[in-house]
Structure 1
């Protein structure tokens, strides 16, 4: 599996205390991150941001879903 750095933008405050730069395994156009009892969903809309000399894709928060019981 390949991994890549991405930038997360938006979302709930509980994620804002962490670095917006994340390393994800095989990010595609959508990313979901486990947070509490659900998932935060992020989508890539074609935006990129240069961070420490690297051109990284920006994933914008889109929705939250709960974990199915």
Structure 2
């Protein structure tokens, strides 16, 4: 079974995270994206927004909040 990958863009949150090219499984568009950064996690959500780029569409994930790593 083949899983479709979707390119994504991050909006908001730490600027250095937006510079990385990322893709996720298409089925994960409905989930909160949790990215480890420093001493915590940055959380991003997809609200259905896409932007045109490189002859295709990129799913836009917007920053929602940050959580700290439990010690």
Q: Does 1:23 align with 2:23?
A: yes
Contact 1:4–1:27 (8 Å) recurs in 2? no
For residues 47 and 40 of structure 2, what CA distance do their matches in structure 1 show?
23
TM-score by length of 2: 0.76
Q: Distance in 2 between matches of 1:31 and 1:49?
A: 18
**Paired residue for 1:36, among 30, 35, 38?**
38
Within the candidate set 53, 56, 62, 1:54 is matched to 56
Structure 2 residue ranges without an equivalent (≥5):
none
Q: Which structure's residues are more often strand, by fraction? A: 1
Tell me the residue number matched to 1:7.
9
Shift of 1:15: 2.6
**TM-score when normalising by structure 1:** 0.77
